[in-house]
Every structure is written in structure tokens, then in C-alpha cells.
Amino acid sequence: MMSRMNEEKKQLPQGREKEKTNIGKNLRWLMVFCFLVIGGGLGLLFGPQLQASEKEDVAAAPAIPPMPVETTEVRIADSDRRLSAVGTLRAAESVMITAELAARIEKIGFAEGAKVAQGQRLIQLDSAVLQAELDRAVANRDLSRSNYQRAENLFADHAVSNQQRDEAYARWQLDEASVRLASAQLDKTVIIAPFSGTLGLRHVSLGNYVQPGQPLVNLEAIDQLKVEFNLPERYLAEVKTGQTVALSSVAYPQDSFAATVYAINPQVDEKSRSLVVRALLDNAEGQLLPGQFVKVGLSVATRADALFIPEQALIPQPKATLVFKVVDGAAQMVPVETGSRLKGWVEITSGLVAGDVVVTGGHQKIGPGSPVHPLPADPALFAALD
């Protein structure tokens, strides 16, 4: 009995503690609910007033002033579609003059860098031995000819056979060939200019003993020059003989030269997939020299009413080219596609229309949507299109 009473006494305080805990939890949930109800009521009561106050604050904030930027309208002009390449100048005719036989140089009859005419004597080789051989060949020829004439007379008198007459004739013809051979060898001791042109620097001196094939001096015909350049094969249908190409050289940056396409290689290079094109350039004044490189511009199409903007209006990006277009006093970023270029101007093939206004200066001060104050661009900018 006593033990049960003791146990009941112990259980009684524990039950009361659980009841107290439950009452505390209920009070906390009741307080949270009251706060939510009160907060919601205050929101409904004062929310519209707070929103109106925020709108008033925004309206009261000062407006961003328009940023001054240079602008210009999209201009209309003729578009000259040009292909660009780098070319090499070559002489119309070029040769390295060499010796054809072994002999000593007896005379040099030209000055380095001089102009010479076709057939002009340049170098005289020692000809004494070859002259003697020619004289001997002539003597043998004369003798064999006389022998043949006697044989012909004797044959008419039936004094010699037909075979003897034929042998005399053959001997005469062999000696005649020996004369021509000796004469040809002697002619090679005189080295002449194969065409008119300008001589280069000589590689030999007076008294040198030269061998066959040894270089003596180069000769270049530079009154006309060939311009050789490569174009990608996709332009095959657009390149024709008779077209005019414009040339520029770093040696004469202020000058422009014109050449005419006269030949296109009938075979496309298998490695580079390009065409080899040659044009002919008049170079009577000798300004340009073989071996120089030139920039080549080939006009392949002209289109009227093309759209142009200044190059400084472009904003190059990795995947697109952009411009700022002014719309209702604000800068709007627009992607564009470009075409040919003309002295500081670039053709726009997509993205703009005639009359659009683009920003040409002050890009760094604005962004998309920025209010702008258009200012006129530098008048000198329009010289290329006017």
C-alpha cells in the first residue's frame, strides 16, 4: 500500500508538468496567430498609402540629363564591291644572261643598271680559237666542193662511177655542216641583249674565264610590269580578263596605279584553293620595280543606293557588329551587317534603313536606353561620299 501511494505521488507532479508544457505551446501559437492577424490588418490599412508614398518618391527623383553624343544620318551612295589581295610585281620579260661556252671575257660593253636595246652587244668572249676552227672548216669545205665539181665532170665523161660522185658530194655536204657549226660556235662569243630592257648588276669581271651556264648579268623589261596575285576560288565567276585593278605601294603611299587583267591560270591551286591572276601595268616612268609587293583592289560589282555609315559608328563584338541608333531621344543598340568600305565609311547591308541616326562619337558615355542629345558630326567626315 505504501509503495503504491508513493508511486501515485511521484506521477502526480509529472502529469502537472505535461499540462503546463501543453498550455505554454498553445499560448505561443495563439500569440503568433494574433501577430499575423494584426500584421495583415495593418498591411491592408496602410499598404496603399505606402505604395503611393513610394511612387511619389520615384516621381520626385531628378531625371537623368541627356548625354551629348556625335551623330549622323545613314547616307546613301554607290557601293563599289571590291576584292582585296596582295600581289607581286614581275617584269614583263626577265632573263639571267649566261655564257654558252667556256672562254675568257675579252670585253664588257655595258654599264650596270643601263638601258639596252634588243640585239645590243653586251660581252665579247675570246674568239681566237673558234675563229681558227672556222677558217679550217671553210678551207675544207672549199676543197671538198671543188672535188665534187671535178667528180661531177668526170662522171659526165664516164671517168668515175656514180658511187665516187656521191661520195664526193657527201664529203662536200659534211664540210659545209662543219662550217655552219664553227660559225655558230663563234657567234656565241658575242653575247647580246635578247630584248630591250634594263640591265642589273654584273656577276663577272673583265678577264674572267666563264663556263657554260655561268650567270653574267640579269636583264629586265620594266616598261611594263606583270602583277601576280591570288584570289579564293569562290570568286572564279566574278574575275574576267579586261577588268581594271587598282594598285597601291608602300613606296608611293600617295599614288595609285591601274593595271588590266590579261590572264587567269586555268587551274586552281590544290593546296590553297586559289586562282592565280595576272594583270599588266604600264610602268614607262620606271617608278615600280619587279619583286615589289602591292595591294590589289579589284572592282567586281557596283550597286546604287547603298547605305553607308562612318566606320567609327561600329561597335565590334566577338559574335556581332553593333551600332547605337537614336530612337525617340534614347540610344538603342542594333546589330548590323557590313559590306564594302570607302575611305572611312562602311556599307550597311542589314540592320539600318535610310534616315536612321547613329552615334559616331561618345559611345563610352552611354548604354542601351540612355537618353542622348544628338550633336552634328565633323563635316570633314562626309568628304568621301560627297
List pLDDT tens digits, range 306-343.
Answer: 899 999 999 999 989 999 999 999 999 999 998 877 77
Residue 40's pLDDT is: 53
- Chain segment 37-64, per-residue pLDDT in tens: 455 554 555 455 545 555 454 444 456 7
Same domain, 279 and 298: yes
Distances in whole angstroms, Cα of residue 96 to Cα of each of 16, 219, 226, 291: 125, 6, 18, 15
Q: Of 302, 336, 355, which marks where a domain is finished? A: 302
Indicate whether 57 belongs to any domain: no
| Between 136 and 345, the higher pLDDT residue | 136
Mean of per-residue pLDDT scores for the chain:
86
- Chain segment 221-270, per-residue pLDDT in tens: 999 999 999 999 988 988 999 999 999 999 999 999 999 999 999 999 99
Q: Of 210, 234, 254, which marks where a domain is finished? A: 210
Q: Does residue 14 have a pLDDT over 70?
A: no
CATH number at residue 239: 2.40.30.170
How confident is the model over 359-383, as a mean pLDDT?
A: 85
CA atoms within 13 A on the CB side of 312: 15
Same domain, 265 and 321: no
Q: Which amino acid is at 340?
A: S
How confident is the model over 362-377, as a mean pLDDT?
A: 90
Choose the weakest-confidence range: 6-15, 205-214, 224-233. Answer: 6-15
Same domain, 307 and 292: no
Q: Does residue 36 have a pLDDT over 90?
A: no
CATH number at residue 141: 1.10.287.470
pLDDT above 90 coverage of the chain, percent? 65
* Contacts with 211 (C-beta within 8 Å, 6 or more apart), sequence order: 99, 102
Indicate whether 61 belongs to any domain: no
Q: Does residue 119 have a pLDDT over 50?
A: yes
| Between 21 and 78, the higher pLDDT residue | 78
Report the C-alpha gap between 290 and 139 in whole angstroms.
50
What is the count of structural domains for the chain? 4
Same domain, 175 and 247: no
Residue 60's pLDDT is: 47
| Between 279 and 300, the higher pLDDT residue | 279
Please give the residue range of the domain that contains residue 314: 68-79+303-384
Report the C-alpha gap between 311 and 308 in whole angstroms.
9
Report the C-alpha gap between 336 and 309 in whole angstroms.
11
Please give the model's pTM, rounded to 2 decimal places: 0.62
Report the C-alpha gap between 374 and 10 in whole angstroms.
92
CATH number at residue 342: 2.40.420.20
Residue 82's pLDDT is: 79
